[in-house]
């Protein structure tokens, strides 16, 4: 009889050998042994572990489907948010992205940026967390901040190593990727499901996302899922690589699958050539893609570029043209949004476009409706723009039925019968009903409770509509006066649901200044502008009392937005609602922002910063200069007092020299500040 030590040694050797062959098969696509030999190794390992269950470990190749079904998904807070990407739908938008990158990096004219390019898979984004080389957690992207714990399902995917191979990997590393169902596997799965009466999936993307949300991992294991990793979210210690491409090379070396079509290209021309190449291969690839992704390759440059709102400045998705279909317009109606904007919507004969059935499509505004001359009864081309929003592209004129009449802008709101007006120079017409208009009230309240605003979980669109129809909600402040008894008495609500909702409402009272500003629904104040306003003014009182010139000092605010912010806070009704919200307990952390130091040593002097500073960030340098009364601008002119040049200064240094502007080193700036 074999000794326990010998058996443990054999089990360890089998696991290592199987991991090696998994890497050759799944990552390199270059198997060394036939399937029958692989099966023999696996059966031997399974047999030994059955006899010696005390030697079974979670990262053993036999434990991919060892978990019991879960009752519900837990939540995971991403240590580093999983951001979405901005999209480019044309060469012009790609060129604009490249121009912004080069300007931000202060590249000279003709100097190109190196990009890492790869196909944009049409699947489900996930994160994988490894500690000491062992997979400990898998999670969905969720809303980018909070995802679902799907570890039990991630473990069933053969392309996901349960233990990293080799050495040199960080003690803790979180990697991001896309789980997808290959086309052949999708076809075979649907064929089998059709024979057995099982659920058919609409497209591979839905199949991948649905498979990851199975409570029973044995069901997920039956689905032919695969994965490609495209980046690192969090790493403990030093960077995994100096560039994105080097990072992916190292991930692959540790057994993590990366896309074989990835490539490093030079400049916008290299991006275009890669896009054309992948577009030509698209139909022959074994998986669905909806475009390509470009990322600035150098990690240091990614950090310098940073982020804006919910997306990185250093990456963009270049989407393929959306799929198009023909259908018939059955009606044209006008929807009223939370700002009173009337949007014409085409009600369509349902048609299958880009993997979904479309029955409504936007016509954007009355000018667009007239430009395209869409009429009831027309046969139209429908496209899912960006694979998300269905829109009417154009009309097949020779199929127009006789008597089809042009659609005009309604004079009265279709919801509240208030007058419809249109400001000079604006494409959008608006209802003048304000909160009298139930549609505006409903949409404003939906926005207020939404995830990116006050984030009141469980307060869905149907509930908002129900409470407005009962005349119970007029302003956001009314939300905080709801009681358990009245909620429990509503349709599809009970005692427990009412209690849960009240807990969510109570939880939402503790928020941030920027979220609160965004939730108020000030026209043209989105998330990014709300954050800029909160950062600039620091507290509500300072913002409310700011005049338009003061508002124009905020980076994201122009004359139109400034006038709308000022108008919003000049309206007594809006101030009443804000006071009611604060009396209800809605609160956020405020801070005092120091007034401009007009008597400071640098008062009246204008600075421009260029290059990388070694002892402080540009923001820190800016704060120091402003605290002493100086002003920091982004461009050099004859009125510039000083240009502070750090490491690798850009074109601003040359312009300063040409104009005779004094150039300071970082040490010289420090000397001025310390004096």
Is it the case that residue 476 has pLDDT exceeding 50? yes
- Cα separation, 41 vs 12, in Å, equals 12
What percentage of the chain carries pLDDT values higher than 70?
93
CB 411 within 8 A of CB 419: yes
Q: Which of 3, 120, 272, 639 is flagged as catalytic?
A: 120
Is it the case that residue 201 has pLDDT exceeding 60? yes
Show contacts of 15-20: CB within 8 Å, 24+ apart.
Answer: 15/45, 15/60, 15/61, 17/41, 18/42, 18/45, 18/61, 19/61, 19/161, 19/163, 19/165, 19/255, 20/165
CA-closest candidate to residue 211, choices 175, 187, 181, 190: 181
* pLDDT at residue 385, rounded to an integer: 58
Is it the case that residue 525 has pLDDT exceeding 80? yes
Q: Where are the alpha helices (DSSP H) in 233-311?
A: 244-253, 267-281, 299-305
Helix (H) and strand (E) counts in the chain? 24, 26
Rounded mean pLDDT of 4-13? 84
Rounded mean pLDDT of 481-507? 92
Mean pLDDT (the chain) is: 87
Q: Which CATH class is domain 87-319?
A: alpha beta
Three-state DSSP state, 83: coil
Angle at 417 between CA 416 and CA 420, to 5 degrees: 105
* pLDDT at residue 498, rounded to an integer: 93
Rounded mean pLDDT of 423-447? 84
* pLDDT at residue 1, rounded to an integer: 47
For 88, list phi and psi in degrees, rounded to 5: -120, 130
CATH of 513-588, one of 1.10.10.10, 1.10.150.20, 3.20.20.70, 3.40.50.1000: 1.10.150.20
Q: DSSP letter at 437?
A: S
CA-closest candidate to residue 170, choices 243, 240, 79: 240
The pair of three-digit structure tokens given for residue 356, joined into one six-digit string = 């979904």
- Cα separation, 610 vs 635, in Å, equals 10
Say yes or no: domain 606-674 is CATH 3.40.50.10190: yes
Q: DSSP letter at 616?
A: S
* pLDDT at residue 529, rounded to an integer: 83
* pLDDT at residue 65, rounded to an integer: 61
The pair of three-digit structure tokens given for residue 601, joined into one six-digit string = 């040593």
Query: In what helix (H) or strand (E) does residue 146 lie, and over which residues does it extend?
Result: strand 146-148
Is it the case that residue 106 has pLDDT exceeding 70? yes
Q: Which residues, at least 6 apart from 419, have a Cβ–Cβ distance to it below 8 Å?
A: 411, 412, 413, 431, 432
Paired residues of 344 in beta bridges: 334
Is it the case that residue 260 has pLDDT exceeding 60? yes
CB 176 within 8 A of CB 125: yes
CATH of 434-508, one of 1.10.150.20, 3.40.50.300, 2.40.40.20, 3.40.50.1980: 1.10.150.20
Is it the case that residue 71 has pLDDT exceeding 70? no
Q: Which residues, at least 6 apart from 259, have a Cβ–Cβ distance to it below 8 Å?
A: 118, 119, 121, 228, 230
CA-closest candidate to residue 465, choices 489, 491, 488: 491
For 548, list phi and psi in degrees, rounded to 5: -65, -40
Chain region(s) in the chain for CATH 1.10.150.20: 434-508, 513-588
Rounded mean pLDDT of 128-151? 91
Paired residues of 23 in beta bridges: none
**Active site includes 509?**
no
Q: How many CB atoms lie within 10 A of CB 502?
A: 17
- Dump pLDDT digits (tens) for 559-607: 888 888 998 888 787 888 899 999 999 999 887 665 555 667 788 788 8
Q: Full-prediction pTM beyond 0.85?
A: no
CATH of 4-63, one of 1.10.287.610, 3.90.1170.40, 3.40.50.720, 1.10.10.10: 1.10.287.610
Show contacts of 431-436: CB within 8 Å, 24+ apart.
Answer: 431/336, 431/340, 431/342, 432/340, 433/340, 434/340, 435/474, 435/475, 435/573
- Dump pLDDT digits (tens) for 342-355: 999 999 999 988 66
Chain region(s) in the chain for CATH 3.40.50.10190: 606-674
For 467, list phi and psi in degrees, rounded to 5: -70, -35
pLDDT bin (cut points 50, 70, 90) of residue 108 is confident
- Cα separation, 97 vs 290, in Å, equals 19
Q: Which residues, at least 6 apart from 365, have a Cβ–Cβ distance to it below 8 Å?
A: 343, 344, 427, 428, 429
- Cα separation, 382 vs 325, in Å, equals 5
Chain region(s) in the chain for CATH 3.30.470.30: 87-319
CB 116 within 8 A of CB 302: no
Fold of 324-421: OB fold (Dihydrolipoamide Acetyltransferase, E2P) (2.40.50)
- Dump pLDDT digits (tens) for 383-419: 875 556 788 988 998 899 999 999 999 999 999 888 8
* pLDDT at residue 555, rounded to an integer: 63
Q: DSSP letter at 612?
A: B
């Amino acid at each position: 009889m074999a000794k326990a030590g010998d058996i443990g040694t054999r089990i360890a050797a089998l696991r290592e050998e199987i991991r090696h062959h998994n890497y050759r098969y799944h990552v390199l696509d270059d198997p060394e042994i036939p399937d029958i030999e692989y099966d023999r190794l696996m059966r031997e390992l399974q047999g030994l572990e059955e006899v010696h269950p005390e030697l079974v470990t979670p990262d053993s190749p036999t434990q991919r489907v060892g978990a019991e079904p879960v009752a519900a998904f837990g939540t995971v807070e991403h240590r580093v948010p999983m951001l979405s990407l901005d999209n480019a739908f044309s060469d012009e938008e790609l060129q604009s992205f490249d121009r912004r990158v080069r300007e931000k990096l202060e590249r000279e004219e003709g100097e190109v940026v190196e990009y890492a390019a790869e196909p944009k898979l049409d699947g489900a984004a996930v994160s994988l967390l490894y500690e000491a080389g062992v997979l400990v957690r898998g999670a969905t992207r969720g809303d980018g901040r909070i995802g679902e714990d799907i570890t039990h399902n991630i473990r069933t995917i053969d392309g996901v190593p349960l233990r990293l191979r080799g050495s040199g990997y960080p003690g803790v590393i979180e990697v991001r990727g896309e789980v997808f169902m290959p086309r052949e596997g999708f076809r075979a799965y649907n064929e089998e499901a059709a024979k057995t009466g099982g659920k058919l999936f609409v497209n591979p993307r839905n199949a991948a996302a649905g498979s990851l949300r199975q409570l029973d991992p044995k069901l997920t294991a039956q689905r032919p899922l695969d994965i490609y990793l495209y980046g690192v979210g969090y790493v403990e210690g030093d960077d995994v690589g100096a560039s994105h491409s080097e990072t992916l090379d190292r991930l692959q070396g540790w057994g993590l699958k990366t896309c074989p079509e990835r490539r490093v290209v030079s400049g916008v021309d290299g991006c275009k050539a890669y896009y054309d190449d992948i577009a030509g291969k698209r139909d022959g690839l074994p998986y669905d893609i909806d475009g390509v992704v470009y990322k600035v390759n150098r990690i240091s440059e990614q950090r310098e570029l940073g982020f804006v709102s919910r997306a990185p400045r250093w990456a963009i998705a270049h989407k393929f043209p959306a799929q198009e279909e023909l259908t018939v317009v059955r009606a044209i109606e006008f929807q009223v949004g939370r700002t009173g904007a009337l949007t014409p919507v085409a009600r369509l004969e349902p048609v299958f476009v880009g993997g979904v059935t479309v029955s409504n499509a936007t016509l954007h505004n009355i000018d667009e409706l007239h430009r395209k001359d869409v009429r009831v009864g027309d046969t139209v081309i429908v496209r899912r723009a960006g694979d998300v929003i269905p829109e009417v592209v154009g009309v097949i004129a020779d199929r127009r039925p006789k008597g089809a009449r042009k659609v005009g802008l309604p004079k009265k709101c279709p919801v509240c019968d208030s007058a419809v007006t249109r400001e000079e120079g604006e494409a959008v017409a608006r209802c003048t009903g304000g909160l009298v208009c139930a549609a505006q009230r409903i949409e404003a309240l939906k926005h207020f409770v939404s995830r990116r605003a006050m984030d009141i979980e469980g307060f869905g669109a149907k509930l908002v509509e129900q409470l407005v129809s009962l005349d119970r909600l007029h302003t956001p402040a009314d939300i905080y006066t709801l009681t358990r008894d009245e909620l429990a008495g509503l349709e599809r609500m009970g005692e427990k649901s009412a209690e849960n909702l009240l807990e969510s409402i109570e939880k939402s009272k503790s928020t941030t200044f920027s979220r609160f500003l965004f939730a108020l629904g000030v026209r043209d104040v989105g998330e990014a502008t709300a954050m800029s306003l909160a950062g600039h003014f620091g507290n509500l009182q300072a913002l409310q009392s700011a005049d338009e010139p003061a508002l124009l000092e905020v980076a994201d605010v122009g004359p139109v937005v400034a006038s709308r912010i000022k108008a919003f806070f000049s309206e007594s009704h809006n101030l009443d609602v804000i006071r009611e919200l604060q009396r209800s307990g809605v609160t956020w952390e405020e801070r005092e922002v120091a007034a401009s130091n007009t008597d400071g040593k640098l008062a009246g002097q204008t600075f421009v910063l260029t290059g990388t500073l070694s002892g402080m960030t540009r923001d820190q340098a800016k704060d120091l200069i402003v605290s002493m009364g100086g002003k920091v601008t982004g461009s050099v002119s004859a009125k510039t007092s000083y240009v502070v040049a750090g490491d690798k200064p850009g074109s601003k240094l040359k312009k300063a020299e040409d104009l005779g502007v004094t150039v300071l080193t970082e040490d010289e700036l420090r000397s001025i500040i310390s004096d």
